[in-house]
Amino acid sequence: MGFLRNAPRLDTLIERLESADGLDDLQGLIEELRDEYGVDHIIYHWVNGAGEQYGCGTYDLEWVNRYIEKGYLRIDPVIQGCYQRFHPVNWKRLDWSSKSARAFLEDAIAHGIGNQGYSIPIRGPNGQFALFTLSHNGNDDDWEQFTTENRRDLILMAHYFNSRALEFEPGRAPDPAQSLSPREVEAMTLLAIGYNRAQAADTLSISEHTLRVYVESARHKLGALNTTHAVARALSRGVIVI
Amino acid sequence: MIRYIYGNDLHTFPKLARTMFLDRADQFKTRLGWAVTVDDKGFERDEYDTENPLYVIWENADGSHGGSMRLLPTIGRTMVNDHFIHLTDGVRIESPLIWECTRFCLSRSATPGVAAALMLAGGEVMQEFGVEHYVGVFDARMVRIYKRIGSSPEILGQEGEGRSMIAVGLWEFTAEAQAKVSKAAGISPELSKRWFERSFGDIIDEAGLVAA
């Protein structure tokens, strides 16, 4: 179905996401991400507690305007099925049974959105809500396989886009840097000097499972994709010193 | 059967919701003596119930509650991070791949399979939504129950002795663990999948969608 690759070079993309200067940069990055995955579209859209909206993505402007003009927000099953929730959704699992939903779907397909979609809802602070969506034209089995294989990375990318976009919100006080607890620093330091998980867990007198969760928390706070990337980031930021 | 219901949809299952909050009061206040709040309707509810959690609930044949648990993403507010951080070595457990599981409750009349059915459903959520771990707070009494259904958590930290022991635990689900729990619950993987699809929708092919 034309997916370019299953494991795109997300690490360099994340680095550039980190150094993005504003919302315009996010637009450029989301286009690149779309090209990396070889899907038809990727969209990031947020609404904050005050009802302000922001989005970036690859849909045609014509469709975006039409969506607003027709008031599709009120009938779009993706919005109904994701708002205030937190699990990722394959569009095919949503309820498209109403006449208006079906008409909307036909219109969306006619505008090149594709017949497949996968949306990841994100609940941010103070009632902020965002949706990170991929859409594509293809068959059910390929789409299910693609979203399942890439789910972890897609969830992480969705959250990185959101935390970056949140920082650009006007009037928002900068987030206190996500600092690691002493225990997380110890765990990351041991991994950085080449201990394997078993050795690191043993040194810290914790189980390997516990170590995994501490490392996973540190990975999230460091905005990294995997453990190796997290160790590199912790070193480059001086969070850990070896 | 198992139902998966977000907080803002509980009103569509009034009997199930009412009996769940009553059973929670019965378990956490009456039986365990936890310092929980019970309102004038007799419901045990806390601040996390207002965060629109995802409830996983065993529904008895008469529509009442047989057992339940409550799921929340750890990137939002969680009980573990707000109140039990001293049990996790001071680590705020936070990741889109880790969810919190709390208020694991069984009604007095729950059959032995209910606890296992809930764990099986928890595994279903992990598998379908890309959740890699659950963290949660549990007490001494639950240790035996988790062990019986073959889903013992890894303990991150604990305090108190004997019956008043309280711990932060960690669950992950391997395929083998899932098979074991499925057996303990007496519920086939196919049936479990069907319940999941009843709550979250089935994949409908597009010919059906557009032509319908």
The answer as to CATH 3.40.50.300 being correct for domain B2-211 is no
Q: What pLDDT score was predicted for residue B212?
A: 42
| Residues A157 and A71 reside in one and the same domain | yes
| Residues A101 and A158 reside in one and the same domain | yes
Contact criterion met (CB < 8 Å) for B76 and A123: yes
CATH number at A205 reads 1.10.10.10
The H or E element containing residue A146 is helix A140-167
The answer to whether B12 faces chain A, any CB pair under 8 Å, is no
| A93 closest CB neighbour out of B76, B203, B206 | B203
Classify residue A226 as left (phi > 0), alpha (psi -120 to 50) or beta. Answer: beta
Contact criterion met (CB < 8 Å) for A85 and B204: no
Q: What pLDDT score was predicted for residue B176?
A: 84
The mean pLDDT value for A217-230 works out to 92
| Residues A55 and A131 reside in one and the same domain | yes
DSSP state of B64: -
The mean pLDDT value for A91-95 works out to 94
Contact criterion met (CB < 8 Å) for A217 and B91: yes
CATH number at A148 reads 3.30.450.80
Closest B-chain CA to A152 = B130
The answer to whether B70 faces chain A, any CB pair under 8 Å, is no
Q: Is residue A226 predicted with pLDDT exceeding 50?
A: yes
| Residues A141 and A223 reside in one and the same domain | no
pLDDT grade for A166, boundaries at 50, 70 and 90:
confident
| Residues A187 and A106 reside in one and the same domain | no
Q: What pLDDT score was predicted for residue A125?
A: 80
Q: Given the DSSP bridges, would you call strands B166-171 and B133-139 parallel, antiparallel or unpaired?
A: antiparallel
pLDDT grade for A176, boundaries at 50, 70 and 90:
low
Q: Which of A6-15, A57-66, B143-152 has the highest mean pLDDT?
A: A57-66
Q: Is residue A15 predicted with pLDDT exceeding 90?
A: no
Q: What pLDDT score was predicted for residue B211?
A: 46
Q: What pLDDT score was predicted for residue B174?
A: 82
A residues 198..217 contacting B (CB < 8 A): 206-207, 209-210, 212-214, 216-217
| Residues A14 and A47 reside in one and the same domain | yes
Percent of chain B at pLDDT exceeding 90: 75
The answer to whether B206 faces chain A, any CB pair under 8 Å, is yes
Q: Is the ipTM of this complex over 0.90?
A: yes
The mean pLDDT value for B166-190 works out to 89
Cβ proximity of B94 and B104 under 8 Å: no
Number of domains in chain A: 2
How far is Cα A147 from Cα A133, in angstroms, rounded to an integer? 11
Mean per-residue pLDDT of chain A: 89
Contact criterion met (CB < 8 Å) for A184 and B209: no
Q: What pLDDT score was predicted for residue A52?
A: 78
Domain ends where: A137, A167, A197? A167
**Structural domain for A199, as ranges:** 182-236
Which residues, listed in sequence order, are joined to residue B55 by a DSSP beta bridge? B5, B70
Half-sphere exposure of B31 (CA within 13 A, CB side): 16
How far is Cα B175 from Cα B185, in angstroms, rounded to an integer? 15
